[in-house]
Structures are given as structure tokens and as C-alpha cells.
Amino acid sequence: DTASLVLGIETTCDETAAAVIERGSDGRGRILSNIVHSQIEDHAPYGGVVPEIAARAHVDLLDGVIARAMRQADVGFVQLSGVAAAAGPGLIGGVIVGLTTAKAITLVHGTPLIAVNHLEAHALTPRLTHALPFPYCLFLASGGHTQIVAVLGVGDYVRLGTTVDDAMGEAFDKVAKMLGLPYPGGPQVERAAETGDPERFAFPRPMLGRPDANFSLSGLKTAVRNEASRLEPLERQDVCDLCAGFQAAVLETIIDRLDVGLTQFAERFGPPQALVAAGGVASNQAIRGALQTAADRAGTEFIIPPPKLCTDNGAMIAWAGAERLALGLTDPLETAPRARWLL
Ligand code: KG4
Ligand code: ZN
């Protein structure tokens, strides 16, 4: 196992990001730079990410973001052991921009290319920040994904549960939108819920007690919409109570679904080394509390990377690239970008 220096490029959604990380021969990681340019302001007027605007913004921004990441790390392209890009899943226009740019760099400098699955990068990030051995259980909740995954090794993942309809972040964003809160809605709902009464509305707890570890969030979202339209026009306190009620239902669902997921994990793979969280939704303090509760109940440790590494960033792509590179897993120039790509 030799030390490596990897550039990572992330362009699957609305963050244009690049980072340089070092992976020591002991397998420990160090972040030398981690530049994230969020396009939130470009998309906010539309209440969500507009794929065409995102793709064009990645074209405009990526070269500059990579240059900053390289400069801050004080590294030249020739020194890189590998260039990693998220090759999917995500908005295809953005994925093409990031992967093609990575290919150009590897072609010019003869550096290995690593085409990284964005979800795999989320799954491996805790190994960048913690000395965490396999296997462990990942709870991934973002704007596009809600999954419970058994992480058994690099490239060895078993999905234990997923959402049958909306992603969790998507549900937060939609609830925020229907209550007149700005995009992205997750942090707004969390803030409003702090001063709300979680018991004023009896919202459904979807999937509670089901034997599989899947999620369903669209029924809960509809229940919030029905209650909101019944109350129109909404007072500020109504909005806070609706948010608190919605979030309380989500918390209970998470604990229940993870009880099932962690039990299944232990039955199939033995006790996990930890429960690990990733994705933008995991930056929610109340949700972190629910995850801690689920971990306590299963008798396992709860590990969460700092918020900057939970949301989309280049360091997670670089790290996943370094982990794959250490196993000799590189990809040919003709690797295709993928809009859909299951773990
Ligand atoms: O991982 P992420 O930054 O991007 C991807 O979707 O890949 O996640 C963004 C999602 C958005 O839906 C956002 O509303 C949600 O994470 N989110 C939150 C919070 N912060 C971000 N949801 C609930 N509470 C939060 N504090
Ligand atoms: Zn993500």
C-alpha cells in the first residue's frame, strides 16, 4: 500500500466542487483542499435545481474551482496519483462536465482515471475522517436519495432499505415550498420546527412496524399539504407547528426503519462497527438525535462526518478515488457518465 495524492471532482447536482486529498500508506486520509461552489443562488428563484442551468454553471465554474483546489493544496497535476470524478448518479449534464474534465487532465498527464459512484463516495467518507473498519451501516439521506446500506468493503455494498417514493430531502423541500418557505427547504423546516408544537397535528408515521427497512414519505407530505390548505391563510405559528409535526413524524420513522435495518444487518453480516450518516439531511440536529437513538438501541457507535463532508463536496470523491486506486481499481477513458447508477 503506497501513499497517494488524488484530485476529486464533483458535479452531479448543484455544487461545483474539487478537492485534493492525500491517502497515507497506513490508509489514513488528509484533506489538502476542499473547494465547494454552491449554485443555490442560481436555482433559488425556481424553487429547485434546474438541470440546464446547473450544467452550464458547471462549465463556467469548474476550471476555476479545480485551479483553486490545486493551488490551495500546493500540488501540480504531474504530482497526482489519480484523478477521480463522480461519474453518476445525478443530473447528466453536470456529470458529463465533471467526468470529461477529469478525462482531459488524465489524458494530458498520463494519470489514472477513477470514475466514482457518487453514492459510494458518501458511503466511504467516514473512513476519511475516522479510522473506521468495515463493515458498517450507512444511513444516506439527501435531496435525491434515502438509503440504508451495509458497507462491507470498497465496492461491496448491500442495500437494506430505500424510499419507495420521495427522497427525504425532497420531502423537506416540498413541505417548505407548500408552506411558503424558501429553497432549499430542509434548514428552514428545521428552524421553524424549533418553535413549533409537534403534537398539534397527528401526522401519519409511514411504514411504521413494516418488516422491511424501506421508507415512504409522500403520504406524510400529502397529509401536511391537506392540513395546510385546511388552515389557509397560514399564521407564522401554524407554519412552525406544521413543520414540527412533519419533522416529528420523520424522526419516528427514521428510528423505526433503522431498528429494522440494523437488526437485518446484524443477522446477515454480524454486528456493524458503527452506524454512519451522510447526505444533507444528516446536518439536521433533530435527525442526528434520532440517529443516535437508533444506534444506542442497536448497541452500536454513531459516527457522523462534519457537515461540510456530509453535503456534496470534492473531498468525498477524491477519497473514494484513493480507496479504489489503492486496490488497483481504475477506469478507462471511454467510461460513460451515468444518470442512474445503483450502489
Ligand atoms: O446531500 P445534499 O447537500 O445534496 C444532494 O441532494 O445530493 O442534500 C441536500 C438536501 C436538500 O433536500 C436539503 O433540503 C436537505 O438536504 N437538507 C436538510 C437540512 N439541510 C439540508 N433537510 C433537513 N434538515 C436540514 N437541516
Ligand atoms: Zn450527494
- Helix or strand or coil: residue 195? coil
Q: How far is the CA of 279 from the centre of ligand 2 (A)?
A: 6
Instruction: Name the percent of the chain lying above pLDDT 90.
Output: 95
Nearest to 170 by CA among 128, 125, 221, 109: 221
Sign of CA dihedral 172, 181, 241, 224: negative
- Mean pLDDT score across all residues of the chain: 96
Element (H, E) at 304: none
Mean pLDDT of 329-337: 98
Do the two domains 4-130+309-326 and 136-304 of this chain adopt the same fold?
A: yes
- Would the annotation count 173 as a binding residue? yes
* 313-329 burial: b if 16+ Cβ within 10 Å, else e: bbbbbbbbbbbbbbeee
What pLDDT does 326 receive?
A: 96
Residues paired with residue 277 on neighbouring β-strands, in sequence order: 139
Q: Are 46 and 38 in contact (CB under 8 A)?
A: no
Grid cell digits, residue 238: 401554524
pLDDT tens digits, 72-116: 999 999 999 999 999 999 999 999 999 999 999 999 999 999 999
User: Is residue 311 lining ligand 1, measured as CB closer than 6 Å?
Assistant: yes
**Segment among 26-35, 47-56, 192-201 with least mean pLDDT:** 47-56
Q: Are 286 and 252 in contact (CB under 8 A)?
A: no
What pLDDT does 67 receive?
A: 98
Q: Which of 281, 283, 288, 310 to mutate to test the pocket of ligand 1 (most atoms within 8 A of CB)?
A: 281
pLDDT band at 2 (very low <50, low <70, confident <90, very high): confident
* pLDDT of 268 over the 90 cut: yes
Instruction: Quote the CA–CA distance of 83 and 18 in Å, as a whole number.
Output: 10
What pLDDT does 10 receive?
A: 98
* pLDDT of 1 over the 80 cut: no
Mean pLDDT of 249-276: 98
pLDDT tens digits, 194-247: 999 999 999 999 999 999 999 999 999 999 999 999 999 999 999 999 999 999
Mean pLDDT of 24-47: 94
Pick the CATH number of 4-130+309-326 from 3.30.420.40, 3.20.20.140, 3.30.930.10, 2.60.120.1030: 3.30.420.40
Q: Which of 40, 142, 243, 291 to mutate to test the pocket of ligand 1 (most atoms within 8 A of CB)?
A: 142
Q: How far is the CA of 202 from the centre of ligand 2 (A)?
A: 31
Nearest to 5 by CA among 79, 116, 102, 95: 79
Mean pLDDT of 264-278: 98
pLDDT tens digits, 153-206: 999 999 999 999 999 999 999 999 999 999 889 999 999 999 999 999 999 999
The domain locations on the chain are 4-130+309-326, 136-304
pTM for the predicted model, two decimal places: 0.94
Q: How far is the CA of 279 from the centre of ligand 1 (A)?
A: 7
User: Is residue 89 lining ligand 1, measured as CB closer than 6 Å?
Assistant: no
User: Is residue 140 lining ligand 1, measured as CB closer than 6 Å?
Assistant: no
Which ligand is closest to the CA of 36, given by its number? 1
User: Is residue 10 lining ligand 1, measured as CB closer than 6 Å?
Assistant: no
Instruction: Name the percent of the chain lying above pLDDT 70.
Output: 100
Mean pLDDT of 13-18: 96
- ipTM, two decimals, is 0.98
User: Is residue 173 lining ligand 1, measured as CB closer than 6 Å?
Assistant: yes
What pLDDT does 169 receive?
A: 96
Instruction: Quote the CA–CA distance of 154 and 61 in Å, as a whole number.
Output: 31
User: Is residue 142 lining ligand 1, measured as CB closer than 6 Å?
Assistant: yes
Q: How far are the Cα atoms of 36, 184, 214, 303 from residue 261, in angstroms, in the given order?
A: 32, 28, 9, 16
- State the architecture of 136-304 in CATH terms: 2-Layer Sandwich (3.30)
